[in-house]
Amino acid sequence: MGRLINVSNRVPLAKTAAPGGLAVGVLAAMRARGGLWFGWNGETTGQEPGEPEITIRDSLTYATIPLPQTLYERYYSGFANGTLWPLFHYFLAGFRYEDQEYAAYEQANALFASRLSPLLAPGDLIWVHDYHLIPLGEKLRALGVRQPVGFFLHIPFPHFEVLRALPTFAEIVRALLAYDLVGFQTETDRESFLNAVRVLWGAQSVGDGGTVVSGGRTIRTGVFPIGVDVQAITQSAAKAAGSAPVQRMMQSLVGRRLIVGVDRLDYSKGLLERFQAYRQFLESYPEQIGQVTFLQIAPLGRQKVQAYAQIRDELEQSSGRTNGRFADADWTPIRYLNRNFPHATLMGFLRAAQVCLVTALRDGMNLVAKEFIAAQDPDDPGVLVLSNRAGAACELTEALLINPYDTRGIAGAIQRALTMPLAERRARHATSLATLRENDIHRWHTRFIDELQAARGRSSGELAAGRLRRLQQSLSSS
């Protein structure tokens, strides 16, 4: 097998960067197979970038480029996160479209393709990640790249009736057909994509097993739910439980039980609804007042996007109202922190919690839900309260599944989690943990790469068949 070339919008070279789901998954694949990770270095410039800068760190090779400032703003803050992100998460109220931002999106992908293609070798496998780079496969094909190219969407793919709000939705769907393999988190996401293909090009364009025939090529689709490194998280969480930050946090609880939420500050995570549900919980179960503490960690993300500044203000006001109403001299109901913690410390916090709240309004997967299960002490595990609109709900069926808009329902689930008998907690945790082990991060990247590798042989066969057809047509016409 040749090299694995991973491509993502951002390459997290900074050691202080908090690893997200995409970064954790790509790093796992790189450590298992080697290769090259290409993308943006996080810096902006006033001019067109030159050749990529090559960096070798921990035996892994990275190739990165800066982006022109204006292009970055229109491509990243504009189309990627002001248009695609809200649309794909079903937030039409926050969705907007501008022609110049879509043009920048296309331009940025063309720039990535032009800087990546000279680095490629004939035997490479190319794996493109997430919504920022949907057109990249198409741009690479235009430059003559014929190696197998796969794409994985880490966020949801919307139903056609939502997708069609985008003026360029057909171009987005068509761009995905430049890949040999298109992967999704859930079957619902894949079916939404295939339905869009059917609407645009007819039912006959989608074949058995979710294949799509386009331009004489066969595009495979698949469901590859991303996992976590269960063993590494279990060990890290157990070790972190005795660390100074976790011990200080535990001592500050003064014996109270801990409810925890860990999310990037984003309107898709259902944080405002979560804060309202916690207030409803205190109102509905007054015996819990002073007995529990809710720790919400929400690191700041895309601060330049107006919607994120607005939700920060709303959360501060909501937590302030709850604390103002219920707090006592020695107890604060909500501890709301806008800061990053080292990953190991977060795993220690998750292990210490009796309840984890994941109330996403829409989420491709949500790895915090999986990390919480992996971090728990199996002899005395906590309980996961999980949104039924997160991709993780398809696998973690033993969690307490909730509608993230149902504040009373969430409040009831919190109470049930806190009062659940030990035997039931152990049984639910054991089932969920077995699911995580069966479909961990290593199986995720192995399944995708093996399927992409198989596309190499299929592509060769299709090219040979195409040449034979053309030869037969030429002979019959002569």
Assess whether 363 carries a catalytic annotation: yes
pLDDT beneath 50: ranges in the chain:
16-18, 463-464, 478
Question: What's the rounded Cα separation, in Å, for the pair 43 and 205?
Answer: 42
Note the pLDDT of residue 309.
Answer: 76
Which position among 180, 189, 363, 440 bears the catalytic label?
Answer: 363
Fold category of 230-429 in CATH: Rossmann fold (3.40.50)
Which position among 129, 132, 154, 429 bears the catalytic label?
Answer: 154
- Span 211-233, pLDDT tens digits: 999 989 999 999 999 999 999 99
Distance (Å) of CA 79 to CA 102, 301, 403: 6, 17, 29
CATH placement of domain 4-227+441-456 = 3.40.50.2000
- Report the sign of the C-alpha dihedral through residues 110, 11, 69, 165, in that order: positive
Tokens encoding 392: 């993780």
Note the pLDDT of residue 235.
Answer: 97
Note the pLDDT of residue 13.
Answer: 79
Q: Note whether 61 and 31 are within 8 A (CB).
A: no
Question: What's the rounded Cα separation, in Å, for the pair 353 and 8?
Answer: 33
Assess whether 154 carries a catalytic annotation: yes
Domain ranges in the chain are: 4-227+441-456, 230-429
Q: φ and ψ at 301, to 5 degrees?
A: -115, -105
Note the pLDDT of residue 253.
Answer: 96
Note the pLDDT of residue 312.
Answer: 87
Note the pLDDT of residue 464.
Answer: 47
Model pTM?
0.92
Domains 4-227+441-456 and 230-429 share a fold: yes
Closest CA to 24 of 454, 441, 453: 441
Closest CA to 11 of 54, 59, 53, 62: 62
